[in-house]
Structure 1
Amino acid sequence: MAEGLKLPKFSVGVGDRFAHQAKAQLAACVMAANAGVEVSPVWNKSNREHMIIGSEPSQTRVAADAAVKELGWTKPYFLDADHINLNTVERFLAPCDFFTLDVAEMIGKPADAKDVAAFVNRHPELVGTVTIPHIDEPFKTDEAFVTGVANKFLAAVQDAGRIYRFLVEKKGAGNFVPEVSMDETDYPQTPVELLIILAAIADEKIPIQTIAPKFTGRFNKGVDYVGDVPQFTKEFNEDLAAIAFAIKTYGLPENLKLSVHSGSDKFSIYQAIHDAVKRFGAGVHLKTAGTTWLEELIGLAEAGGSGLEIAKEVYAEAYSHREELCAPYATVIDIDPAKLPSPEEVNGWTSEQFTSALRHDQSNKAYNPSFRQLLHVGFKVAAKMGERYLNALEANEAVVARNVTTNLFDRHIKPVFLGQ
């Protein structure tokens, strides 16, 4: 790997829908540093979010740089062009130095038969008995199996190669961190499938520093993990073993690590992630994009007065447009319509009732995951409010920032990176 921009061992993807919470998010990373662990912030905002809000990636850069300057942060930080492809990358080129290469549309599309055959011939080590250190049982494969996996993923990896080479042409090698996203597929990859994908990535000469595989279970937006925790734990450990083996076998960057997408609020698997990373001496990238927007709403509701009124208005609008708001996120939310309170009921709530329903505190009987998920996808409503919403954030900055920082440090950074 050519020397260049290097993502540190631990990093957290922090989304900031309205580019107002960079300082509050960075404050959580300062707290982590004071507690003895360096966690690099990676501000991420997808093209879809920019389109909905009417913002530009350059605004995210301005907000991040201002926060870094104000808090005197001297450690690395990054700006992620989240889920880009060749059609959407242009506006991200100048401000971003981290690129999540989204090849979801190509997963499952068969690659050219000659390319698949050439890949299988190039990698005899993947056919037969494949022994990956730290995984109890060797994997038994044959040529048909490797051909099948290559058929599913090779076209996607080749697409990632095209995006990567375009970025090198525009930004220069070593001037950005590449991540490949493989999580938008139907089934989790087995360790040997992940190894095959990593071999293909090495063939494309993409010096990826993070990879986002598909894990077992549901990673719904803004709520806890839904699935078999022991099975996730087994998979996560095996994925780390496969990555360590691929680094040695294929010469991939030594700091290559797992990226957990939709990682915010997955409290029941944080201990497993922490323990596995510690066991392997590995790094991890935890993406927590959407949770900050909900903390803004919590802060506004907690502030009372006009802040609470805006929070209630956002809910009422989200409720009346719920089908339209939920459609793009259908695979990553589970909302029970029967559990959604009516806007009329919510209009009568106190600050405490609103925050209790929304804040992700599972010990609070009033916590309502359906209410939370609807508001999670409802940021479009606040975007339409424009200056009115932004003015409310600024007027209530202290209470909003406190919620953003506390949520990121106490509920995310501490359990994942500090193991507390």
Structure 2
Amino acid sequence: MVKPWIEILRKHGAADAAALPARKAALLQDGIESIADDSGNAVYVRSLQESNGVVYAIVRDAGRRSLLALGPAAFDSPFEAPLQKVEGYHAQLIAPTAAHTAGLHQLFGFTRPLSLRDRRTTVGMGDRLGRATPGHLRAARNYALAPVLAQQSIRELEFTGRTFADVVADASFAVFQEGYSGGYGADGDHLKTIEAIDNALAVHMPMITLDLTEVMRPEVADWPHSKINAGFAALSADFQARVESEYAGRNFNLDSDTVVRISAKEARLCAVMYGPALDFSQVVNDHLKQKTGNAYDLEISIDETTTPTLPSHHLFIASELQRRGVTVNSLAPRFIGEFQKAIDYIGDIAEFEKQLIVHCRIAEHFGMYKISVHSGSDKFSVYPHVGRHSGGRLHLKTAGTSWLESLRVIAACEPAFYRTIHRKAFEYFPEARKQYHITADIDAIAEVGSKNDVELPAFLDDPNCRQLLHISYGGLLRDPEIRDRFFALLHTHDEMYYGYLQRHFDNHMRLLGVAAAQG
């Protein structure tokens, strides 16, 4: 039933394609982000667009969000939805799903993700729910950054029952809803195989985060010298010769204040530890180039290990990637200290800063790629150092923090339902903990029954509870008692959710020192 939205558009002079640009500009100038009737039907003003005499907009009612297409006569459409004749107009109501993403991209190119290799500061704003992106964009548009909106890992997809196609669809329609034309990325996160990479590329995800966990050999760090030498002797003669001549016992002067030395033993250790990962990185890079031309952003992830990435190891990896012709857009070391989910940095901040400086100088020296910070949300104590020493050439990766902000909305607006979610999180925690490294003490979390309703949002500020709720999302979102009601309530309170997200990411960007957007 499209009649209510037609009436809203007519009332505000926005149903006519020719008059639309001026009406849209006037509404936004008056600070009007949505136009609505008394029954809760609304049109998002920033989404108003015109193409070939047809008006397009994202509309909502009490239960759903859709794309409305409205013309004065029958029109050709890339969407498979019935064409209705209502109130003298021809209209389509299109579900914002993966089946219609290609049509949206065809009509409005700004909704398609693109390579962000030329953007200095990028921020991964993962949306596990498919509902957070408008809030992300309301923060992002105020800063000199490019958002990576469609960012999900295989693990996240399995836990939420989504596909890469779903993730790109949700981001694309949210970009249209917010009228965001500044360009955004899409990240197939922590992928380990060519097959998984191809699945991401098939739905136009230009960024691939290559997780090298399964081809690295971190156990080599604990080998005796004799075993390292034996492993080194098994490598190709050419690689051995290059390692001995170009790395063993050498000092690398990165600038007047930064020197990295690689001993002979360490050079051999790096060759054995990282050799297979470097080979696979080259295979993946060549595959991406063959598949996309040059429109891809390859991130090398070496952070999923138990030991920090020494600056000398980072230098060896960066130098070898450059030699092999791998186009590195960003690289994620395993930093010293703890970058745990949903909470601030744990560790010696002075030592972190000292090593961070060297990591940033290595990135500048070997290709000016971005330093990537994984599990990057809520690390407020180290953000000023990350922003300053990277010079803003960085990629920050977040996801779970946006899920937690959705629970903050539930706690504030639906306290009884929050209590149900809270208690069920304890049930799902033991299984979820097998997938994530955290140190939460869940026994230290106050009993939810001991708190009155107005105190419930404070649970989202308790580090132990944040980690409990953060990693239990998979079980909670699959729970039949939770799932449908959760999404229905989030739809009802979507503007509050967007506001919470904007405030939360404003805090991140401010401490990182990201410059304000120009114009």
TM-score of the pair, normalised by structure 2: 0.70
SS at match of 2:285: helix
Query: Of 484, 503, 511, which residue of structure 2 is paired with 1:387?
Result: 484
Aligned to 1:338: 443
In the alignment, structure 1 residue 121 sits paired with structure 2 residue 241: yes
Q: What is the rounded CA distance, in whole Å, between the counterparts of 1:297 and 1:7 in structure 2? A: 35
Aligned to 1:357: 459
Query: Of 263, 275, 281, which residue of structure 2 is paired with 1:160?
Result: 281
Distance 1:112 1:128, change over 3 A: closer
| Contact 2:442-2:465 at 8 Å conserved across structures | no
Amino acid at match of 1:99: I
Aligned counterparts, 1:215-234, within 5 A = 215-234=335-354
| Contact 2:300-2:330 at 8 Å conserved across structures | yes
Aligned to 2:471: 377
Gaps of 5+ in 1: 248-253, 360-367
| Contact 1:107-1:185 at 8 Å conserved across structures | no
| Contact 2:285-2:327 at 8 Å conserved across structures | no
| Contact 1:13-1:287 at 8 Å conserved across structures | yes
Aligned to 2:170: 63
Q: What's the CA shift string for 1:73-121, capped at 9, x where partnerless? A: 2222111000012153343222211000011122217788554642343
Distance 1:218 1:293, change over 3 A: same
In the alignment, structure 1 residue 312 sits paired with structure 2 residue 419: yes
SS at match of 2:298: strand
Gaps of 5+ in 2: 1-114, 221-230
Q: What is the rounded CA distance, in whole Å, between the counterparts of 2:130 and 2:188 in structure 1? A: 15
| Contact 1:46-1:81 at 8 Å conserved across structures | yes
Q: What's the CA shift string for 1:213-259, capped at 9, x where partnerless? A: 11100011000000000111011110111122222xxxxxx4x1100
Aligned to 1:134: 255
Aligned counterparts, 1:79-94, within 5 A = 79-86=186-193, 87-94=195-202
Aligned counterparts, 1:131-280, within 5 A = 131-134=252-255, 136=257, 138-169=259-290, 171-247=291-367, 254=368, 256-278=369-391
How much does 1:389 deviate?
A: 1.7
Q: Which moved more, 1:135-144 or 1:226-235?
A: 135-144
Aligned to 2:120: 9
Amino acid at match of 1:243: A
| Contact 2:258-2:358 at 8 Å conserved across structures | no
Aligned to 1:105: 214
Aligned to 1:413: 509
In the alignment, structure 1 residue 53 sits paired with structure 2 residue 164: no
Amino acid at match of 1:309: A
| Contact 2:146-2:184 at 8 Å conserved across structures | no
SS at match of 1:31: coil
Q: Which moved more, 1:198-207 or 1:91-100?
A: 198-207
| Contact 2:122-2:146 at 8 Å conserved across structures | yes
Q: What is the rounded CA distance, in whole Å, between the counterparts of 1:90 and 1:351 in structure 2? A: 47
How much does 1:153 deviate?
A: 1.1
Query: Of 53, 64, 77, which residue of structure 1 is paired with 2:184?
Result: 77
In the alignment, structure 1 residue 24 sits paired with structure 2 residue 135: yes
Query: Of 389, 392, 397, which residue of structure 2 is paired with 1:287?
Result: 397
SS at match of 1:89: helix
Q: Which moved more, 1:5-14 or 1:233-242?
A: 5-14
SS at match of 1:198: helix
SS at match of 1:132: strand
Aligned to 1:362: none
In the alignment, structure 1 residue 400 sits paired with structure 2 residue 519: no
Amino acid at match of 2:355: E
Amino acid at match of 1:299: V
Q: What is the rounded CA distance, in whole Å, between the counterparts of 1:238 and 1:376 in structure 2? A: 32
How much does 1:52 deviate?
A: 1.1
Amino acid at match of 2:214: E
Q: What is the rounded CA distance, in whole Å, between the counterparts of 2:483 and 2:233 in structure 1? A: 51
The structure number with the bigger radius of gyration is: 2
| Contact 1:129-1:141 at 8 Å conserved across structures | yes
| Contact 1:299-1:400 at 8 Å conserved across structures | yes
SS at match of 1:217: coil
How much does 1:48 deviate?
A: 0.8
Q: Which moved more, 1:370-379 or 1:116-125?
A: 116-125
Q: What's the CA shift string for 1:153-173, capped at 9, x where partnerless? A: 11112222233333334x323
SS at match of 2:318: helix
| Contact 1:26-1:41 at 8 Å conserved across structures | no
Amino acid at match of 1:192: S
Q: What's the CA shift string for 1:112-168, capped at 9, x where partnerless? A: 855464234335332333232336463443433211111111111222223333333
Q: What is the rounded CA distance, in whole Å, between the counterparts of 2:483 and 2:422 in structure 1? A: 16
Amino acid at match of 1:315: H
Amino acid at match of 1:350: N
Distance 1:417 1:64, change over 3 A: farther
| Contact 1:277-1:284 at 8 Å conserved across structures | yes
Q: What is the rounded CA distance, in whole Å, between the counterparts of 2:165 and 2:355 in structure 1? A: 37
Q: Which moved more, 1:120-129 or 1:264-273?
A: 120-129
Q: What is the rounded CA distance, in whole Å, between the counterparts of 1:125 and 1:42 in structure 2? A: 40
Structure with greater helix percent: 1
Amino acid at match of 1:105: E
How much does 1:62 deviate?
A: 1.4
Q: What is the rounded CA distance, in whole Å, between the counterparts of 2:138 and 2:496 in structure 1? A: 14
SS at match of 1:43: strand
Q: What's the CA shift string for 1:283-328, capped at 9, x where partnerless? A: 000111110000000011112xxx3233222211111232112111
**Cα RMSD for the two superposed structures:** 2.2
Query: Of 300, 306, 324, which residue of structure 1 is paired with 2:410?
Result: 300
Distance 1:56 1:11, change over 3 A: same
